[in-house]
Amino acid sequence: MTDAATDAAPPPQGRPPTLLGLPSYLAGHVSRIGHSTLVGELASRGLRLPHFAIFAGLHDFGSLPHNELADRLGLNRSHLVGYLDELEDKDAIERSRDSSDRRRQLISLTLPGEELASELIEYARSGEATDLSVLNTSELATLTKLLRRVVEADDGRER
């Protein structure tokens, strides 16, 4: 008779120190931890992470022209069109002509879209609080500040 405890694979001895010494590896892994819960919630609603980014952008900045939304989110403009089509089909966003420049389309959240954006943002914040609970408030603030500095430096680079 075999014992399940003795049949189980031995626990890993830890990650390679080389990887643990690479901030980009660590940030990527922490990102996967944080995204896993959110991705599941989004999938249950027929959404993906780019949809969440659109909700967050429109929630934070209000109505934006298509090209500005793509640039602020770091999304390919043609890919953004597909994501917007999907959100429009769900009555979450609407497109309208910019009254100051009829050539531009403004993207806005609808009332159901605003409600969904708020729900998803709260869900993301709650999930991150749980996933990162190993850090105290000060440590989390420091981590956020440092990661934000790297992202903002990258945003400022010419491509």
pLDDT (0 to 100) of residue 159: 58
pLDDT (0 to 100) of residue 6: 54
The amino acid at 142: T
pLDDT (0 to 100) of residue 8: 65
User: Pick from 55, 38, 144, 147: which is nearest to 93 by CA?
Assistant: 55
Query: What 3-state class would DSSP assign to 98?
Result: strand
DSSP state of 129: H
Q: Which CATH class is domain 31-151?
A: mainly alpha
Please, are residues 45 and 52 in contact by the beta-carbon 8 Å criterion? Answer: no
The amino acid at 9: A
Walk across the sheet containing 93-98 and list its strands. Answer: 64-65, 101-109, 93-98
User: Domain map of the chain by residue range?
Assistant: 31-151
pTM for this prediction: 0.83
Task: Work out the angle at residue 113's Cα, subtended by the Cα atoms of residues 112 and 117, and round it to the nearest 5 degrees.
Answer: 120
Q: What is the rounded distance in angstroms from the CA atom of residue 111 to the CA atom of residue 56? A: 14
Q: pLDDT digit of tens for each residue in the chain (159 aa)?
A: 555 555 666 666 788 999 999 999 999 999 999 888 899 999 999 999 999 999 999 999 999 999 999 999 999 999 999 999 999 999 999 999 988 888 889 999 999 999 999 999 999 999 999 999 999 999 999 999 999 999 999 888 865
Residue positions counted in the chain:
159
pLDDT (0 to 100) of residue 99: 84
